[in-house]
Amino acid sequence: MLNIRSQAGLTFDDVLLVPRYSNIVSRSHVHTSTRLSRNIELAIPILSANMDTVTESQMAIAMARAGGIGIIHRFMTLDDEAQEIARVKRAEGYVVEQPRKISPDATLQEAIKLMQSHSVGGLVVVDQNQCVVGMLTTRDVRFVKEGHQSVSSWMTPLTRLITAPPDTSLEQAREILQQHRIEKLPLVDSTGRLAGLITAKDIIRMQEHPKASKDTKGRLRVGGAIGIKPGSLERIEKLLAQGVDVLVIDIAHGHSENALKMIREVRRAFGNVELIAGNVATAAGTRDLCEAGVDAVKVGVGPGSICITRVVTGFGMPQLTAVAESAEVARAYNVPIIADGGIRTSGDIVKVLAAGASSVMLGSLLAGTTESPGMTVVRQGRKYKVTRGMASLGATLGRYTVESATEITEKDLEQIVPEGVEAAVPFRGNLSEVLTQLIGGLQSGLSYCGAHTIGELQEKAEFIPITLAGLRESLPHDVEQF
């Protein structure tokens, strides 16, 4: 006898959501905010996948500005990943924590060069003890002809400089900048040392993205993926030093002793750092990760667009069933579920949120955007971007090169059993255009359910299984599509 479950597992195309009475008059009246993890909220329920053709700093910055979050992949050196995190953390924020500095004895020529090379409009002038003695901005040196003169002769000296203490709030900074009609406000501690810089430009930029995912210092949020190999704890230490908001223990089979051991080690070494782990696809897997102390569980074994895990190993769970049974368990632990893989449309997002996920992780849907690190190729006059599974042959070879300094041999090559493919996805333009479509679709989906929030969608949603005929009817049919 086969040891077999009595009910078939379901995935996106097996079901539709049943329309319900709705008193929502406009889709702008629904809320897309959600919980990424126990302690982090997002304005939109979308994560960009930790894949090397999807998320590096450019994607993570754009994702966080839109209200989601990007998870920087781990298939690069430890220093490179830390640098990618640092780029996101430095991209925005009302306090520049390490402003560019110069000595009062430096020449104006040196100052101009420094401002140009770092694309900044001003330098804080500090003495050997890091004490602030003045400020030099591009305005001060715009028409200077004698570049050999010293910075001290053209800077605004401390006696005339408006400064503020390190704990100045955004509101207070806004008032000071306005009152004195200045562009830059150095933060100075009680010993006179430089503690940061607030600029009007950064404050204005922050206002352009009202939904942005921000940490308590006003910096964009970002996640960093980590593995379970030796050296992972050192990687975590470096990522935390750069201000990473959430760590993602990312392994193909997350319901394994290796993953559980890593979760416990991270908890022991780093206390209550925000921690996501996965991937799992069952209630039992979710329970074990929750018991080990994670703050969110990533669900999905084999549904991804570039995955061949199910073909190669025979294992997997249809994604809607996997999410629904995981979410039921996770609810008792107050741990959100991230549905990872297989999402092709905004309709899929609505279905998987209705099934119990709090957010979704997207790979190939975002791999075609300008912000992804993938290569652009042109095929028969059309633009595509290259994407690949992180267990594909190419990605595995790339990882081997990063992890071991030695050349890969033919024998090593023979040993690789890929569980992912390399592929091309159509170029889709800027991330913001793609997200506008996805979030618009999600909002419409909520209104078809009469739900103002994702939580209400989960309470009210009723699925109906459909037949192949039902699926055919759901797609454009009997027309010539342009």
Residues interacting with ligand XMP, by CB under 6 A? 49, 51, 279, 300, 302, 304-307, 309, 340-343, 361-365, 389-392, 419-420
User: Which candidate, 312, 310, 311, 333, places its Cα nearest to that of 322?
Assistant: 310
User: What span, in angstroms and rounded, lies between the C-alpha atoms of 278 and 298?
Assistant: 5
Establish whether the linkage from the previous residue to 279 is cis, with ω within 30° of 0. yes
Contact between 259 and 289 under an 8 Å Cβ cutoff? The reply is yes
Bridge-based pairing state of the strands 246-250 and 34-37:
unpaired
User: What span, in angstroms and rounded, lies between the C-alpha atoms of 163 and 198?
Assistant: 10
Burial class (CB in 10 A: 0-12, 13-18, 19+), 188: buried
User: Which candidate, 42, 77, 47, 74, places its Cα nearest to that of 59?
Assistant: 47
Q: How far is the CB of 420 from ligand XMP (least distance, A)?
A: 2
Q: How far is the CB of 287 from ligand XMP (least distance, A)?
A: 20
Q: How far is the CB of 356 from ligand XMP (least distance, A)?
A: 18
Q: How far is the CB of 320 from ligand XMP (least distance, A)?
A: 14
User: What span, in angstroms and rounded, lies between the C-alpha atoms of 458 and 453?
Assistant: 9
Q: Measured from the CB atom, is 315 or 433 closer to ligand XMP?
A: 315
Q: Measured from the CB atom, is 223 or 302 closer to ligand XMP?
A: 302
| CB-CB neighbours of 408 under 10 Å | 13
DSSP state, 272? Answer: T
Q: Measured from the CB atom, is 391 or 438 closer to ligand XMP?
A: 391
**For residue 134, what are the contacts with CB-CB under 8 A and spacing of at least 6?**
104, 124, 125, 151, 152, 155, 156, 157, 158, 161
Q: How far is the CB of 37 from ligand XMP (least distance, A)?
A: 16
CB half-sphere exposure, 267, CA atoms < 13 A: 15
Q: How far is the CB of 418 from ligand XMP (least distance, A)?
A: 7
Q: How far is the CB of 341 from ligand XMP (least distance, A)?
A: 4
Instruction: Extract the tokens encoding 208.
Output: 């352009």
Q: What single letter denotes the amino acid at residue 327?
A: A
Q: Measured from the CB atom, is 69 or 141 closer to ligand XMP?
A: 69
* Nearest position to ligand XMP, beta carbon: 420
**For residue 447, what are the contacts with CB-CB under 8 A and spacing of at least 6?**
22, 24, 27, 29, 30
Q: Measured from the CB atom, is 306 or 322 closer to ligand XMP?
A: 306
Is 131 among the catalytic positions? no
Q: Measured from the CB atom, is 11 or 443 closer to ligand XMP?
A: 11
Torsion angle of alpha carbons 182, 118, 373, 37, nearest 10°? -50
Q: Measured from the CB atom, is 134 or 304 closer to ligand XMP?
A: 304
Instruction: Extract the tokens encoding 448.
Output: 């078809």
Return the active site residues: 307
